[in-house]
Chains A and B, each alone.
Chain A
Amino acid sequence: MTAWLLDGLLAAMLVITAVSVLASSSLFRAVVMFIAFGMLMALAWMRLQAPDIALAEAAIGAGLTGVLLLDAVAHFRRGPGNAREGEQG
């Protein structure tokens, strides 16, 4: 019963974060939601008895993709042409 509660909660959180990735008004928020989605996916892989995928998802899906996307959002905020000006991150 507890396991089903956990599964249901995890699935609901996955869907909610996925929808808020697409629906949130600011790009930064969407990316942060996507990083949260990656961490929840890692938990889901653990529930599916796939520790290898969970490791990769935590390192890649949440870590590396997050850095890449945040860097890109900062780039869009700076505007085209002057990619080096302004705040970093």
Chain B
Amino acid sequence: MTPDLFYAFTGLVLFITGLFGIIALQHLLRKLLAFNLMGSGTFLMLVGLAQHRNGTDPVVQALVLTGIVVAIAATALALVLIRRYYHLAGRVSLERDATDEGRP
């Protein structure tokens, strides 16, 4: 077991944690955080698996670099949408009768 493979399995744990969060949590901002955790886990798996055999791999590193920048753009756009939704609907979760835990 190389360190790279070890990090790939860490990424797997993060991915599953994020997947659980994105389904189980109600608050949209928390869903977004969970989605980002899933993304980080995926990136770790990609780089870890690719580098496990071949050593430092510029192709997969460039791919993940692109992925990180797209992920931040998606996160920022999602935040704009969530804030707009909150502004219009006054709620931070999609369920109609859910308690809004974001309100103090």
Contacts and interface: CB of A to CB of B under 8 A. Distances in A.
B86 to A, nearest CB: 6
A4 B4 CA distance: 11
Nearest to B66: A56
Given A72-B29, A76-B103, 14 more contacts: A14-B10, A15-B14, A18-B37, A21-B21, A21-B37, A27-B102, A31-B29, A41-B44, A44-B10, A47-B7, A60-B69, A75-B83, A79-B103, A80-B87
Interface of B: 3-4, 6-7, 10, 13-14, 17-18, 20-21, 25, 27, 29-30, 33-34, 36-37, 40, 43-44, 47-48, 51, 56, 61-62, 64-65, 68-69, 72, 75-76, 79, 82-83, 86-90, 92, 101-104
29 contacts: A7-B7, A11-B7, A14-B10, A14-B14, A15-B10, A15-B13, A18-B14, A18-B17, A18-B37, A22-B33, A27-B29, A27-B30, A34-B36, A48-B51, A50-B64, A52-B61, A52-B65, A53-B47, A53-B65, A56-B68, A56-B69, A65-B36, A68-B79, A69-B29, A69-B33, A69-B79, A72-B79, A76-B102, A79-B103
Interface of A: 3-4, 7, 11, 14-15, 18-19, 21-22, 27, 30-31, 34, 37, 41, 44-45, 47-50, 52-53, 56-57, 60-61, 64-65, 68-69, 72-73, 75-77, 79-81, 83
